[in-house]
């Protein structure tokens, strides 16, 4: 099966140009054609009508969507979220858990395992594994996590969960007892360690850095702020060039000025746009549940009763639009933050670029950042009629 995308504005890391064409064969990018090149025949020809063709987005931090949460622990929940994330242009997704009991985590990972073996998985984005956010966090920066289930880092628990379904990333507080070594233990398992809900000093970060910590989850939110006597975790993310940062660019979790500041100080090579979306994403305002806690959504902002932000309702296509409009960056630089950086940080091969040999996971967008069509392995899985 082959498909030829023609007449597109191609955007991929390090390159963007109009009137390009892309040949896909058997789910892989086969060849790129410049304007004026003779085009090959294909089983199907898609005229992109000068729309933007980009690598499919990779959301590595997402709790839910469309009224469902991954911690619901059902195939129905995962199936609905994985299918509806395609509407945002997401082609690879890490279902992200909350701070809950091990029994609940077992249920969640088992449902993920059941889902990827089901025919339903052919209708949604790729799920190579899960992201555990918590339960190994610091209660002093609990945010919208449930303090009843906070516990110390436990690599044996991670091993038990990983045996059910791959754990690709674990976000935890590196300053808690055993936290620094936990980072190296995770790396030994091929799992990406990341810091989150952390009260670490910069010295405590450096201790974990020595053990391999190179990721900070939802940067700036629920972590030690930049201070002139201790630069904390925010300073760590800005000072250390090789540290990846997740960024919730909804202009609520992070104000526009901070978005501009971070993109000015930090190379786009190490920024990952995420949604951190909860079940209210794609849903109307109202009352929702988040890990057993009552959450209120008004004007798209999700908060607990005490006013604390409780995840987001952000969609990745909108995060991309927000940053593009705020920073005025070249899209060929910015597109790294939506897919390729995530793939590098998680060591996911052949994802995040439109180049020969890469998976044909692509999204066709308008120039005002609306998703027209989403393809996974060269197959149309979402399109606007």
Closest CA to 238 of 260, 217, 263: 263
Closest CA to 124 of 370, 360, 381, 359: 381
Closest CA to 279 of 60, 78, 58: 78
Which residue among 276, 285, 289, 333 is the active-site one?
276
Strands (E), 213-269: 215-216, 244-247
Residue 230's SS3 state is coil
Residues β-bridged to residue 216? 195, 245
Q: Are the C-beta atoms of residues 214 and 241 closer than 8 Å to each other?
A: no
Active site residue 276: yes
Q: How many helices (H) and strands (E) does the chain have?
A: 10, 21
Measured between alpha carbons, how far is residue 360 from residues 56, 87, 254, 363, 383 in Å? 8, 17, 32, 10, 16
Question: What is the pairing mode between strands 28-33 and 15-25?
Answer: antiparallel
In angstroms, the CA 154 to CA 97 distance is: 16
Question: What is the pairing mode between strands 271-273 and 90-95?
Answer: unpaired
Please list the active-site residues.
Answer: 276
């Amino acid at each position: 099966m082959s498909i030829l995308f023609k007449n597109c504005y191609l955007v991929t890391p390090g390159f963007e140009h109009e009137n390009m064409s892309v040949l896909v064969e058997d789910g892989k990018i086969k060849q790129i054609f410049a304007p004026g090149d003779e085009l090959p025949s294909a089983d199907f020809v898609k005229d992109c009508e000068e729309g933007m063709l980009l690598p499919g987005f990779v959301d590595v931090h997402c709790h839910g969507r469309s009224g469902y949460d991954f911690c619901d622990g059902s195939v129905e929940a995962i199936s609905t979220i994985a299918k509806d994330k395609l509407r945002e242009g997401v082609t690879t997704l890490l279902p992200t858990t909350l701070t809950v009991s091990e029994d609940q985590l077992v249920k969640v990972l088992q449902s993920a395992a059941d889902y990827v073996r089901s025919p339903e998985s052919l209708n949604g984005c790729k799920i190579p594994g899960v992201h555990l956010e918590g339960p190994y966090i610091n209660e002093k920066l609990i945010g919208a996590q449930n303090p009843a289930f906070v516990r110390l880092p436990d690599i044996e628990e991670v091993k038990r969960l990983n045996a059910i379904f791959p754990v690709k990333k674990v976000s935890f507080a590196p300053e808690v007892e055993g936290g620094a070594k936990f980072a190296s233990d995770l790396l030994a398992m091929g799992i990406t360690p990341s810091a989150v809900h952390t009260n670490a000093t910069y010295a405590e970060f450096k201790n974990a850095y020595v053990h391999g910590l190179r990721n900070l989850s939802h940067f700036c939110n629920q972590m030690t702020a930049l201070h002139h006597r201790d630069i904390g975790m925010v300073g760590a993310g800005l000072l250390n060039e090789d540290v990846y940062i997740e960024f919730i660019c909804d202009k609520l979790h992070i104000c526009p000025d901070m978005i501009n500041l971070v993109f000015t100080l930090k190379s786009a090579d190490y920024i990952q746009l995420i949604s951190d979306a909860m079940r209210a994403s794609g849903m109307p305002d109202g009352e929702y549940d988040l890990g057993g806690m009552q959450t209120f959504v008004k004007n798209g902002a999700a908060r607990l009763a005490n006013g604390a932000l409780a995840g987001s309702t952000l969609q990745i296509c909108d995060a991309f639009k927000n940053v593009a409009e705020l920073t005025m960056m070249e899209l060929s630089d910015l597109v790294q933050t939506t897919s390729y950086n995530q793939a590098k940080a998680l060591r996911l091969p052949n994802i995040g670029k439109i180049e020969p040999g890469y998976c044909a996971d692509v999204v066709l967008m308008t120039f005002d950042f609306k998703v027209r069509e989403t393809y996974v392995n060269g197959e149309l899985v979402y399109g606007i009629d």
